[in-house]
């Protein structure tokens, strides 16, 4: 029997997760839920996804817009083996009682508080920890990217200290109300940013400091990374280690890819859906070592890097595959890996 998956919230993350679920041979998308009729609701119907009203009082709005509904979110959650909550930050916490009422395991996104769930999840970092959990949080785009990077470094060399400066996009392309418009903001001004403590939900014993800056861009986040390792590896060995990971892409020297804009163009030229980049993009030329200190730059596509993680979290929660099997299946079906 295929895993019956529901997606509550069909926006930036939800529509991508829904598409990814339909590609999985062991999953079936039984429906998606929206709070209001809009072009994304129309897209769900066009894609053949059963559409449910997330707010019962708004059913009439869908009817007036000529958008067919399959029912209410309660019916969708009741029929599901697992629900992916892809609602805006804070709404997942409000939905928790709904999932508990139907005894349906739920996955939440990184905007929710870690205290809301049984475990925070990253496929590369702690896949097995989610097995059998009722409430699992797939960590944020930045935390996902950092976890993918730090896990192999920790395993291969040991990490004494990680120091990360995150240059964060002001908003996603469709978020016209976000900013700054013409400024560079320490965000937050106080240290650390929330990303370091968030990484510690995956690696509790890791010593990590993070700082954040917010800039007027919509394309991708960029990380300036300095990791003090417990050994002194050769630079080429580190590059090879990172190149061997399935969800990291080492941008080749001489490729002409000098920033996030060129990375998005690279993805579009390779017919990636929505120009999504599911992988950490690490500039190979930036990977360098000075004694036990490792330095590099990486870019993280905030709209999409958590999507394969959500797919893996579904299997982890239900115990239908181990980490290696799930990641390989997800990568193959989605086309992860340039």
Residue 311 to residue 303: CA distance in whole angstroms: 15
Helix axes 323-334, 307-318, angle to 10 degrees: 140
At residue 77, the 3 state secondary structure works out as: helix
Q: Which of 239, 246, 185 lies closest to 217 in space, CA to CA?
A: 185
87 is catalytic: no
Beta carbons of 171 and 179 less than 8 angstroms apart:
yes
- Per DSSP, helices labelled H in the chain are 14-22, 39-46, 59-64, 73-79, 91-101, 123-126, 141-156, 195-199, 235-244, 260-269, 307-318, 323-334
Cα separation of the two ends of the chain: 32
53 contacts 69 by C-beta, under 8 angstroms? yes
Query: 217, 221, 143: which is closest to 175 by C-alpha?
Result: 217
Q: Which residues pair with 71 in a beta bridge?
A: 52
Q: Which of 84, 107, 141, 316 is catalytic?
A: 141
Q: Which regions of the chain are under pLDDT 50?
A: none
- Determine contact, residues 84/65, Cβ cutoff 8 Å: no
**Vertex 293: Cα angle to 256 and 193 (nearest 5):** 80
For position 46, what pLDDT does the model report? Answer: 97
Within 10 Å of residue 57's Cβ, how many Cβ atoms? 7
pLDDT at 278: 98
pLDDT at 167: 98
pLDDT of the residue at 1: 87
Q: What is the model's pLDDT at position 38? A: 96
Long-range Cβ contacts of 63-71 (<8 Å, 24+ apart): 64/37, 65/37, 65/41, 67/37, 67/41, 67/42, 70/31
Task: Give one DSSP letter per residue of 36-56, joined into a string.
Answer: S-SHHHHHHHHTT--EEESSG
Contact assessment for residue 162 and residue 206, using Cβ atoms and an 8 Å cutoff:
yes
- Quote the CA–CA distance of 255 and 238 in Å, as a whole number: 20
Specify whether the CB–CB gap between 93 and 48 falls below 8 A. Answer: no
């Amino acid at each position: 029997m295929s895993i019956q998956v529901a997606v509550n919230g069909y926006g930036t993350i939800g529509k991508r997760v829904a598409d990814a679920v339909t590609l999985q041979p062991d999953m079936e998308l039984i429906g998606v839920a929206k709070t209001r009729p809009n072009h994304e609701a129309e897209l769900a119907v066009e894609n053949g996804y059963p559409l449910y009203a997330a707010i019962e009082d708004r059913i009439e709005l869908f009817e007036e817009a000529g958008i067919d509904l399959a029912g209410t979110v309660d019916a969708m959650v009741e029929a599901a083996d697992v629900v992916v909550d892809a609602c805006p930050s804070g709404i997942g916490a409000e939905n928790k009682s709904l999932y508990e009422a139907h005894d349906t395991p739920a996955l939440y996104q990184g905007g929710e508080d870690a205290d809301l769930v049984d475990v925070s999840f990253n496929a590369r970092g702690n896949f097995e920890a989610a097995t059998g959990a009722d409430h699992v949080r797939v960590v944020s785009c930045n935390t996902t990217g950092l976890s993918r990077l730090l896990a192999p470094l920790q395993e291969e060399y040991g990490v004494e200290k990680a120091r990360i400066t995150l240059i964060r996009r002001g908003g996603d392309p469709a978020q016209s109300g976000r900013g700054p418009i013409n400024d560079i903001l320490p965000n937050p001004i106080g240290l650390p940013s929330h990303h370091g403590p968030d990484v510690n939900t995956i690696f509790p014993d890791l010593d990590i400091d993070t700082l954040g800056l917010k800039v007027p861009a919509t394309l991708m986040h960029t990380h300036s990374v300095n990791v003090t390792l417990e050994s002194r590896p050769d630079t080429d060995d580190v590059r090879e280690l990172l190149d061997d990971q399935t969800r990291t892409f080492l941008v080749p020297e001489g490729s002409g890819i000098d920033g996030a804009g060129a990375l998005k163009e690279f993805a579009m030229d390779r017919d990636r859906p929505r120009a999504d980049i599911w992988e950490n993009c690490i500039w190979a030329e930036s990977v360098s070592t000075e004694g036990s200190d490792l330095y590099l730059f990486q870019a993280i596509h905030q709209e999409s890097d958590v999507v394969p993680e959500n797919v893996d979290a579904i299997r982890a929660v239900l115990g239908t595959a181990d980490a290696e099997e799930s990641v390989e299946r997800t990568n193959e079906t989605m086309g992860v890996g340039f």
